Amino acid sequence: MLIVQKFGGSSVANAERVRHVAGIIADTYAEGHDVVVVLSAQGDTTDELIEKAKEINPKPSKREMDVLLSTGEQQSVALMSMALEAIGLPVVSLTGWQIGMETNATYGAARIIRVSTERLRRELDKRRIVIVAGFQGVDRNEDITTLGRGGSDTTAVAIAAVLHADKCQIYTDVEGVYTADPRKVPNARKLDEITYDEMLELASLGAQVLMNRSVELAKRYGVVIEVLSSYVRKSGTKVKEVAKKMEEMKISGIAKDNDVARLVVVGVPDEPGMAFRVFNAMARAKINVDIILQSYGKAGTNDISFTVPITDAEAAAAALNDIQEAIGFDHVNVDTNVCKVSIVGAGMMSASGIAALMFEALYDAKINIQMISTSEIKVSVLIDKAYADQAVQAIHNRFFG
């Protein structure tokens, strides 16, 4: 089998962790597999480099930032190769440009255009373990680029795709994907399998196991990802197109997102085109709007409520105030004291009463629902931030308890 394994920054943070991970890689190789390993920068290296840069230039160019940051992964792959050499294994480290990881020229957030298989195949044919620097590539001009957040996951999936790898294992500090955050919900269960779409919803809802981008890439090329722990040796969660569900499971997971704000545009005249003008203002300010609710306000007016990422709340309010006179609404309320709690499950809509079960759980827990949003595979509610954990626990108990 050809197996791609990715290890994050905390997995290679110091000599001890490097040696530990080398043990995992060595065991995989000893089973007779071809192994390609993708690594992130060690622990805090990236933050330290950013710090150094800011000391010299508070606004460095993204090109030079990429030249600087890409050294972190290069150090990781050299050190891991040394650890494998120390136990007598054939190994070679390769950077982004050495494996022909070609990207566009969007420094700091480059998109992969293609990955050459030539060098990778040549090294695998020599029965070498190949250690690849994640997160980095080169553009057509041979300039160094980085892929942005979660870039190493994306590197691993892209390599698994072009090499038609049999497995793509993403090692993290959790044992897999859970029905809810196990630190908050003690009886949360690890899922054996989950679909790409469910994983995408869970990731966007704040369950930060895999970055969406790598899941999207995996979905497009049919790469089965396994999320598992680098600390304990047991199988994790497979992310794939169709997931087997445990019999009784109606949903795959529950997630909460604290980083939302609710805006209420109060006293919007009850005339056509008002909603268009509000959300057009948001679009022009490049602000993503999530849940939307329109309700009757005082006589002849409506209230338009919607949620935005908490970091965009101020900009959204400012954009609205700019059009206050033109629209003629009364005022804008901004509430950052809210939380979005969601249940996710493929084919949820085909099973009746899933949403009702969620609402009932919240009602029993005496938690007020401020807004509701639904999609094919999820139901989200907006509640008071103070009740977030309690809400997740209550819903979890109802579905998995």
Q: Nearest distance from residue 123's CB to a second copy, in Å? A: 11
Q: Is 72 annotated as a binding residue?
A: no
> How large is the angle between the packed helices 274-284 and 313-322, nearest 10 degrees?
130
Q: Which is nearer to a second copy, 72 or 345 (CB)?
A: 72
Q: Is 398 annotated as a binding residue?
A: no
Q: Nearest distance from residue 27's CB to a second copy, in Å? A: 18
Q: Nearest distance from residue 51's CB to a second copy, in Å? A: 10
Q: Are 152 and 8 in contact (CB under 8 A)?
A: yes
Inter-CA distances, 186 with 17, 150, 190, 233, 329, Å:
27, 27, 11, 21, 46
Q: Are 298 and 347 in contact (CB under 8 A)?
A: no
Q: Is 178 annotated as a binding residue?
A: yes
Q: Which is nearer to a second copy, 5 or 70 (CB)?
A: 70
Q: Nearest distance from residue 39's CB to a second copy, in Å? A: 12
Q: Nearest distance from residue 132's CB to a second copy, in Å? A: 12
Q: Which is nearer to a second copy, 15 or 113 (CB)?
A: 15
Q: Is 267 annotated as a binding residue?
A: no
Closest by CA position to 32, among listed 1, 69, 71, 68: 1
- Alpha-carbon distance of 292 to 264, in angstroms, equals 10
Q: Which is nearer to a second copy, 15 or 318 (CB)?
A: 15
Task: Report which DSSP code applies to 142.
Answer: S
Q: Are 290 and 342 in contact (CB under 8 A)?
A: no
Q: Nearest distance from residue 126's CB to a second copy, in Å? A: 12
Say if strands 112-115 and 101-103 run parallel, antiparallel, or are unpaired.
antiparallel
Q: Is 8 annotated as a binding residue?
A: yes
Q: Nearest distance from residue 158's CB to a second copy, in Å? A: 20
Number of alpha carbons in the 13 Å side-chain half-sphere of residue 285:
24
Q: Which two tokens stand for residue 218?
A: 């995996």
Q: Is 7 annotated as a binding residue?
A: yes
Q: Which is nearer to a second copy, 75 or 212 (CB)?
A: 75
Q: Is 345 annotated as a binding residue?
A: no
Q: Which is nearer to a second copy, 78 or 334 (CB)?
A: 78
Q: Is 222 annotated as a binding residue?
A: no
How many helices and strands (H and E) does the chain possess? 12, 20
Q: Which is nearer to a second copy, 63 or 277 (CB)?
A: 63
- Name the site residues for a second copy (rule: CB under 8 A): 15, 18-19, 49, 52-53, 55-58, 60-61, 63-65, 67-68, 70-71, 74-75, 77-79, 81-83, 85-86, 92-93, 95, 97-98, 119, 142-144
Backbone angles phi, psi at 387, to 5 degrees: -100, 10
Q: Is 172 annotated as a binding residue?
A: yes
Q: Is 63 annotated as a binding residue?
A: no
Closest by CA position to 265, among listed 339, 328, 340: 328
Q: Which is nearer to a second copy, 78 or 317 (CB)?
A: 78
- Alpha-carbon distance of 156 to 170, in angstroms, equals 8
- Alpha-carbon distance of 243 to 247, in angstroms, equals 12
Q: Are 267 and 207 in contact (CB under 8 A)?
A: no
Q: Nearest distance from residue 109's CB to a second copy, in Å? A: 18
Q: Are 154 and 210 in contact (CB under 8 A)?
A: no
Binding residues: 6-9, 46, 73, 172-173, 178, 183
Binding residues for ATP: 6-9, 172-173, 178, 183
Binding residues for substrate: 46, 73
